[in-house]
Structure 1
Amino acid sequence: MARVQNPTLFSAYFGVSPQALAAAGLIDPFLDVDMPLFIDPVLLEKSGNKTINTAAMGRFRKHFEILVRMLNISKAEGDAAWKAARRQLDLSEPPENGLGYGGSGRSGNSRPEDIREAILRTSKEIITLGASDPEMISLMGFFEQDVGPDTISDMTTTVIIEDLAAITEAFCQANGLPLYSSEICASHKLPKYVDPQGRSAPIVLIPEDIVRELPIANDWSDIERAAMENARIRERVNRLLGGIARPTVADRKHALRGAALGSQANFDFFLAAVKENVGSYDPNLDALGYYRLKAIVANGFPGLKQPTRYDLKLGPGEIMRVVKDTIDQFKRHVEAGNLWEELWIGGKPKKERASQLIYYAIADAFCKANDLDISPEANMGGGPIDFKFSSGYQARVLVEMKRSGGTAVHGYEKQLEFYKTASQTEFGVFVIIDYGDLGNKLNEVRRIRDQRLKQGERASEIIVIDATQKASASKRK
């Protein structure tokens, strides 16, 4: 399970102002963990960065025009033209941009060949309809089960890496950051990050307005939201889904394929609808809590220093005290302060990940403020996040956090117990973020805990945090 501990921001490592990055319209990335964002090629021409909307956009179109041309003249899979198209489709994961589902570290990897072949086949199908816009490649995540936004993002990064490197070099030169030659781009020098193990890697910076949030794997709505904004496409998709009560990701993608690939006109309409409705990740809405995480990591958090010291040598019980105090800090700022505002967006609860990342940042800051030789580790992969606090090999405490509208009962009964077994610990805390839709779930979770205690088993503690919308702190009496 990929984990991250003590995340390091680009601005902190290189001693550059976060405001300078923001003024340049660039993301201040973590250097040792991937961010849950992806580059959407549909956003390239909309970017406010001239290098992106001209040079990068032109490079992207030219690159995939070659792919389209090769597929157009290909007579059979595997012939010379098909192989030429295949060479244009590099799906290796570039570690330099720090985006994606990775956890600890940012090392890249390559995707299976069958995914590349699936993209080529679908592209060929679209070309056979008569469509020729090279931006068709941007839409593969809509149609192919194993092609996600991260795949498209990595493919795009590889194509426009020279432009991203130029932007990075210019920013670093303007701010006096050291630059080095690298293998990824011979024409531009890049800053270099050296991790605690002495391994070095070049870094490229990404403009804020060309990224969107990565969807959780089982959340189809984020994959197709832009296209479904169009009533005509929405009606076609719903008709193709027929009487399926709970459509899967595969069902949705199959319906989208049917709605878009019926004719050249349908596809062109589909592509135009996506380009019209897609938008970049909004730091002001911060649906993932990513910018709040960065702010806490960079600036700390008020009121975390405790009057009494902790003695971690006392074992799991003392670590449990630390953990409960970190949760209490989070709970107090949500319930009595204004931190609840960070958990809502447009009158609806933000994704579960937002509360998890903000808690992680507060817990990490808490340990540093109290000079503790311990910090939380968080699984930052594509699925739910769990936390582990440990000191030495034996003393471990796990924290699992669920929103009230989600699978709280399953999370307590099964998921946390699975994590505890995997981590070889009996100590766990289950946190429920209550947005006002908890219903009878709390009673069921408590019943499971009481039953375990009656059987003489160690049962994980339960903490509920009231995250319902409140009046501002200044208006509360």
Structure 2
Amino acid sequence: MAIHYSKYFHVEHKDFISKGVYNGYLDKDSLLHIDPLLLKGCKIPEFQNAYDEFLQYFKDFIPLAKFVRKTDTSDRFFKQIVKRFTLSEIPNTGLGYSTGNTRGRGISGALSIQLANSAYEIISAGLIEPEIFCLMQLIEDNMGADRISDMTLSILQKNILLYTQRVAKELNIPTKRYACLGEYFNVPFYKRKPVHFIPMCLLTDLPIARDYDEIDDVCRYNTELKRKVAKIIGISWKEYKEYKKPDWKHIILNNKECYDAAISFYKGLTGVAYDFGTDAKEQYLDILMEEILEKFPFDFICSTDVNTRNKVYEFTMAICKQFKHLVEDNRLSEVFYRKNRTPDETDWQMLLYTVADTYRTAGGFDIAITREDNPGVGEIDFHITRGTKANTIIEIKRSSNQNLYHGYRSQLAAYIRAERATDGIFMIIVEDDNYEKIKNNLAVIQEDMKSKGEYVPEVIYVNGNRQVSASNPEYHNPVLP
């Protein structure tokens, strides 16, 4: 399970949320990033002037560029521009996205020189509006939303440290003295590095891309701006969709009308903050789950003096029954129904997996839980094993699934054979009024399987409909057998 700030610092998740502080990860990146547009009009004391400070950082390139005589680091003014574009990733913010890598790359080396050259070119052309630097993900190679976020964090590090210092004090989180930017701050630490708390209102979700450098291609701002610029120069979508960053850079910097349109477009933009209420990227699902499960301990003794196969099956069955109890009696699935969202089959699979893995970890059970393993006949929802002696497979289907009966009769059996599993459990999430019909149909299938000497897996029915609170006058919560 990922380590959230609240877990590491022993503070309740709701306390972070009540203060509007992102309860980020300490051991992995999220799919969120800071959007500089969200700094506009920010009411948080430490960030009230942050947007102006962010733009001022780029305005300060103007006097330097005027004295540059040659664009290499032997020129002290050009070297200063390179230095200002050399920005390290700020540690322990839990932000950013890159496939196969949980660390951002910051800005340094050849990229810093590239950006310094661009800054000199832009300013020398008389284009001095600082907003042009906010469009770097559109016109500069190797610059995406992730790096813009890293740049923003670095430019505003003092603001963030002051904010972190205040939040840590208000939440009684232990701190250490940290020297940075010629000042001292009292902030929390993780693995000998300072933690930087980020306001939730400054975060937006990072688009999903196949790799780091494609992130900019799916940002919502870029497509809109490309269309505006394309209209000015009279090219169609079919033509401009093939344009690369150097093409857009050339067009915008060499066509005053396009440049003015780009600047006006950016100035008129309003940032869209990530909706933590819906939490489509499930940034808080795991921590909400953990807090719920801590309230409902799982009592199971996993002794070694009992047949291993039986014990693993008993553990798996106990987990499934506990899951059923949590969903039907403790409204566990409410995490999925926020803002009228309806859970799909993957949600139910992940919910059961999270329950099983959380209890396994908390109880220190010597059992492995594997999700979406593919033995060659399809992806198994997950299976629970202990060494090579015991393997219980769990298959989950919603009652509305057209392959429900096939899943029970054929699919689960194929998984059991492929994995040489010892047992299987079939869980049905009932989300309609067809429980009796499904039960009767499965009874016929089970009798046929018994008559042919086939293995007949256990079936567990879970009422997956949204559960009304017991305090509601309309409360009626049928618990399925």
Confirm or deny a common fold (TM above 0.5): yes
Pick aligned residue for 1:59 from 53, 61, 78: 53
Q: Within 5 Å, give how 1:229-378 maps onto structure 2.
A: 232-233=227-228, 241-242=237-238, 263-274=255-266, 276-300=269-293, 305=298, 308-311=300-303, 342-343=335-336, 361-367=354-360, 371-374=362-365
Contact 1:431/1:462 (8 A) holds in 2: yes
In structure 2, relative to structure 1, the CA distance for the partners of 1:349 and 1:37 (3 Å cut) is farther
Where 1:137 maps in the other structure, the secondary structure is helix
- CA–CA distance in 2 between the matches of 1:309 and 1:317? 13
Does residue 99 of structure 1 match 2:99? no
- CA–CA distance in 1 between the matches of 2:100 and 2:318? 26
Alignment length (residue pairs): 426
Q: Within 5 Å, give how 1:191-210 maps onto structure 2.
A: 191-194=187-190, 199-210=191-202
State the match for 1:214 in structure 2. Answer: 206
- CA–CA distance in 1 between the matches of 2:399 and 2:123? 47
- CA–CA distance in 2 between the matches of 1:51 and 1:191? 15
- CA–CA distance in 1 between the matches of 2:226 and 2:44? 32
- CA–CA distance in 2 between the matches of 1:462 and 1:112? 53
- CA–CA distance in 2 between the matches of 1:95 and 1:60? 20
Contact 2:65/2:124 (8 A) holds in 1: no
In structure 2, relative to structure 1, the CA distance for the partners of 1:345 and 1:227 (3 Å cut) is farther
State the match for 2:85 in structure 1. Answer: 89
Does residue 141 of structure 1 match 2:132? no
- What is the identity, as a one-letter code, of the residue corresponding to 1:201? K
- CA–CA distance in 1 between the matches of 2:326 and 2:133? 45
State the match for 1:78 in structure 2. Answer: 72
State the match for 1:43 in structure 2. Answer: 38
Contact 1:399/1:430 (8 A) holds in 2: no
State the match for 1:398 in structure 2. Answer: 370
- What is the identity, as a one-letter code, of the residue corresponding to 2:283? Y
- CA–CA distance in 2 between the matches of 1:463 and 1:278? 46
**Percent of pairs with identical residues:** 20
Contact 1:130/1:264 (8 A) holds in 2: no
Q: Deviations over 1:148-191 (max 9, x none)?
A: 32222222111111111111222333444443211335523233
Q: Deviations over 1:99-127 (max 9, x none)?
A: 23489998776556344344445555654
RMSD: 5.4
* Structure 1 residue 29 displacement after superposition: 2.9
Report 1 or 2 for greater relative contact order, CA contacts < 8 Å, sequence distance ≥ 6. 1
Contact 1:304/1:329 (8 A) holds in 2: no
- CA–CA distance in 2 between the matches of 1:464 and 1:251? 50
State the match for 1:165 in structure 2. Answer: 161
Contact 2:89/2:105 (8 A) holds in 1: yes
State the match for 1:384 in structure 2. Answer: none
State the match for 1:473 in structure 2. Answer: 467
Where 2:261 maps in the other structure, the secondary structure is helix
Query: So what's the TM-score if we normalise by structure 1?
Result: 0.66
- CA–CA distance in 1 between the matches of 2:215 and 2:118? 20
Contact 2:397/2:404 (8 A) holds in 1: no
- What is the identity, as a one-letter code, of the residue corresponding to 1:399? R
In structure 2, relative to structure 1, the CA distance for the partners of 1:346 and 1:172 (3 Å cut) is closer
In structure 2, relative to structure 1, the CA distance for the partners of 1:284 and 1:94 (3 Å cut) is same
In structure 2, relative to structure 1, the CA distance for the partners of 1:457 and 1:177 (3 Å cut) is closer
- CA–CA distance in 1 between the matches of 2:119 and 2:425? 50
Bigger drift between 39-48 and 105-114 goes to: 105-114
- What is the identity, as a one-letter code, of the residue corresponding to 1:366? Y
In structure 2, relative to structure 1, the CA distance for the partners of 1:21 and 1:472 (3 Å cut) is closer
In structure 2, relative to structure 1, the CA distance for the partners of 1:72 and 1:104 (3 Å cut) is same
- CA–CA distance in 2 between the matches of 1:138 and 1:233? 17
Does residue 26 of structure 1 match 2:11? no
Contact 1:193/1:202 (8 A) holds in 2: yes
Q: Deviations over 1:9-64 (max 9, x none)?
A: 4334444454543343322333343333212222212322132131x334322222
- CA–CA distance in 2 between the matches of 1:123 and 1:332? 61
Contact 1:400/1:431 (8 A) holds in 2: no
Contact 1:435/1:467 (8 A) holds in 2: yes
- CA–CA distance in 1 between the matches of 2:344 and 2:114? 31
- CA–CA distance in 2 between the matches of 1:346 and 1:321? 37
